[in-house]
């Protein structure tokens, strides 16, 4: 459904940052930390819509 445009490091960083921000929100550090849902979701689906719009990909090219 979505074209993969996240490399391994980019995806891992998004997942880690997303989880940490959500944990911070759950611990009461601020409602703004729920923004972590966005990097978590993009890491899980391995696609960043903004990258798609801008024509960016951090995936390694095969070939």
Nearest to 33 by CA among 44, 22, 42: 22
pLDDT at 11 over 90: yes
The pTM assigned to this predicted structure is 0.89
Residue 41 lies in a domain: yes
Nearest to 23 by CA among 15, 34, 12: 34
How many domains in the chain? 1
Residue 62 lies in a domain: no
What's 32's DSSP letter? G
pLDDT tens digit string along 15-53?
999 999 999 999 999 999 999 999 999 999 999 999 999
Residue 2 lies in a domain: no
What domain range is 47 assigned to?
8-54
- The confidence band for 63, taking pLDDT boundaries of 50, 70 and 90, is very low
């Amino acid at each position: 459904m979505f074209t993969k445009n996240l490399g391994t490091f980019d995806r891992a960083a998004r997942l880690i940052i997303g989880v940490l921000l959500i944990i911070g929100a759950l611990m009461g550090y601020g409602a703004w930390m729920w923004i972590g849902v966005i990097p978590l979701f993009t890491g899980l689906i391995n696609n960043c819509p903004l990258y798609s719009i801008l024509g960016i990909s951090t995936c390694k090219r095969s070939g």
